[in-house]
Amino acid sequence: MKLVLKDGSVYEGKSFGADVPMTGEVVFNTGMTGYVETLTDPSYAGQILVCTYPLQGNYGVPDKKFFESNKIQVSGLVVSEYSEEYSHFDAQKSLSAWLKECSVPAIQGVDTRAITKKLREHGVMLGALAERLPGKFPDPNDGNLVAQVSPTKKKVYGNGRIKIIAIDCGMKENIVRSLTRKETTIIRVPWDYDFSKEKYDALFISNGPGDPAMCQKTIENIRKAMNANKPILGICLGNQLLAHAANAKTYKLKYGHRGQNQPCIEADSKRCYITSQNHGFAIDGKTLPKDWEVWFTNANDGSNEGIRHKTKPWRAVQFHPEASPGPTDTAWIFDDFIKSLI
């Protein structure tokens, strides 16, 4: 099987996933562990993932309860070396078996560093995992990826006093785990759900795949919550959607931030946190209305990593405080959010 990029480059590898051709946007992730969490992150919908860490599959695949959603979300997987044998007390199957089960193609034995450097220089590119050159490369971002991964029904977790509406644009399970506490009730709703009739105390906007501009309905619903003066917390896509609701703009990053080592500086304390990230779009800080401010900034490239309203309880981060995969340094963001509601 080959990885074919839109610019015509071909990387011949060996298949270890499902034997089906697949197209997608080719992106790279620099995490050194956490393939189970990464592959099940709905934000990866429509993307072919290149792992920069060369060895994958080492500790197998555990029970579903460790997943970030119920299945593999990536369109395809590209690694340098897949480890046939795995070893872990939690493992139930191999990565290869799991990929096949989910009908996701994967190849190994290609120069993933060369591909990464190409993506870094040219930006993310459309591509395909296939035996033969595909006729065309459809852009997954042209469709509404959020609609594809978002649930269709409402679901309620917990039985606490504080009711939080969580808009699921492709929400990772660990966000649900992080928000569900004895004092909270989480009402998980579809991306376009109009919750203005619901009784709730606060709004949470989740991560999700693709371009935030596709989620106009969500943005409108967020504005309703803003009008109702409800406290709001957003993560990743949620950050971008909150920005849109506040009339700021987003843009597509050249090759995105995907990894577990992104340093982000908090505006007040100047403290630097190591964060887990997975996004291709970012907020243009310059377009923030004057009653909003930058909360976090990426210490490497200066891009926006979070925003907050100067007076109202609205804030969001571009990175993933729920980690999974990645460092847990910013888990306090959930604590602070919930504390502010008590």
Partner 1 sequence: MKKSGKSDLQDFFIKPRSILLLGSGGLRIGQAGEFDYSGSQAIKAFKEEGIRVVLMNPNIATVQTDKGLADKVYFLPLTIDHAEAIIKKERPDAIALSFGGQTALNLGLELEEKGILKKYNVRVLGTPVSAIRDTEDRAFFVKRLNEIGIKTARSFAVHDVAHGLKAAAEIGYPVMMRSGFALGGLGSGRVNDAGHLAERLKEAFASSPQVLIEEYLAGWKEVEYEVVRDSADNCTTVCNMENFDPMGVHTGESIVVAPSQTLSNEEYHRLREIAIQTIRHIGIVGECNIQYALNPNPPAGGVDYRVIEVNARLSRSSALASKATGYPLAAVAAKLALGHTLPTIQNAVTKSTTACFEPALDYLVLKMPRWDLTKFENAASRIGTEMKSVGEVMAIGRSFEEVLQKAIRCLNIGADGFTANRNGNFKIDDYDEQIQNPTTQRVFAIAEALKQGMTIQEVHKLSGIDEWFLSKLKNIIALEKQTRTKKFDAEALRSLKKAGFSDLQLATIKKTTHVKIRTLRKKLGVTPVIKQIDTLAGEFPAKTNYLYLTYHGTEHDIVPSGSVGHPMSYVVLGSGPYCIGSSVEFDWACVQALNTLREKKYKTIMINSNPETVSTDYDMSDRLYFDELTLERVLDIIDFEKPKGTIISTGGQIPNRLAMPLHEAGVAILGTKATNIDKAEDRHIFSKLLDTLQVDQPLWTEITTAKAAAKKAAEFGYPVLVRPSYVLSGSAMSVAYDEAALIRFLKRAADVSEKHPVVVSKFIENAREIEIDGVAKNGELVIYAISEHVENAGTHSGDATVVLPPQRTYLETIRRAKTITKKIIHALKITGPFNIQFLAKDNHLQVIECNVRASRSFPFVSKVTGYNFIDMAVRAMLGEDVSGEYRTVDLDYVAVKSPQFSYGRIKGADPVGRVEMASTGEVACFGDSFSEALLLSMQAAGVRIPKKNVLVALGKEENKIKLLTSMRELYNMGFKLYATEHTAEFLKNHEIPCEKVFKISSGKDPNVLDLIERGKLDFIINIPTHAMTDTSKDGFIIRRKAVDMNIPLITNRQLAEAFITALAEARTTSSPSSVRV
Cis peptide before 325 (omega within 30 of 0): yes
Residue 265 as a binder of partner 1 (CB under 8 A): the answer is yes
Q: How far is the CB of 264 from partner 1 (least distance, A)?
A: 10
- Applying the rule CB under 8 A, the residues between 312 and 331 that interact with partner 1 are 323-329, 331
Interface with partner 1, residue 34, by CB under 8 A: yes
Closest to 187 (Cα-Cα) out of 203, 172, 174: 203
Spatial contact of 129 and 22, defined as CB atoms under 8 Å apart: yes
Q: How near is the Cβ of 250 to partner 1 at its closest, in Å? A: 21
- Cβ-based neighbours of 325, under 8 Å, separated by 6 or more: 31, 33, 34, 35, 36, 37, 38, 260, 276
Return the beta strands (E) in 137-249 as ranges: 155-157, 162-168, 184-190, 202-205, 232-235
180 binds partner 1 (CB under 8 A): no
Q: Does residue 294 bind partner 1 (CB under 8 A)?
A: no
Of positions 7, 19, 90, 198, contacts partner 1 by CB under 8 A: 90
Q: Kindly state whether residue 239 participates in binding partner 1, applying the rule CB under 8 A.
A: no
Residue 155 touching partner 1 (CB under 8 A): no
By beta-carbon proximity to partner 1, the closer residue of 55 and 156 is 55
* Shortest distance, position 298 Cβ to partner 1, whole Å: 10
- Contact residue for partner 1 among 85, 132, 135, 227 (CB under 8 A): 85
What distance in Å separates the CA atoms of residue 219 and residue 212, rounded to the nearest whole number?
9
Q: Kindly state whether residue 157 participates in binding partner 1, applying the rule CB under 8 A.
A: no
* Count of residues in the chain: 342
Residue 122 burial by Cβ neighbours in a 10 Å radius (0-12, 13-18, 19+): middle
When asked if residue 260 is in the footprint of partner 1 (CB under 8 A), the reply is: yes
Q: Candidates 8, 153, 227, 269: give the one binding partner 1 (CB under 8 A).
A: 269
Size of the site for partner 1 (CB under 8 A): 61
Q: Provide the minimum distance between the beta carbon of 190 and partner 1 in the complex, in angstroms, as a whole number.
A: 28
Distances (CA, A) of 253 to 107, 234, 278, 289, 297: 26, 19, 11, 21, 15
**Taking CB under 8 A as the rule, which mask of x and - marks residues 95-134 in contact with partner 1?**
---------------xxxxx-xx--x--------------
For residue 325, give both structure tokens: 């995969």
Q: Which residues are catalytic?
A: 236, 320, 322
Cα atoms found within 13 Å of the Cα of residue 8, Cβ hemisphere only: 0
Asked if 37 is part of the footprint of partner 1 (rule: CB under 8 A), the reply reads yes
- For the chain, the maximum distance between any two Cα atoms, rounded to a whole number of angstroms, is 58
Strand locations in 173-271 (E): 184-190, 202-205, 232-235, 250-266
Q: Please report, as ranges, the residues that interact with partner 1 according to CB under 8 A.
A: 11, 28, 30-34, 36-37, 52-55, 58-59, 62, 66, 80-81, 83-90, 110-114, 116-117, 120, 259-263, 265-266, 268-272, 274, 299-301, 323-329, 331-332, 336
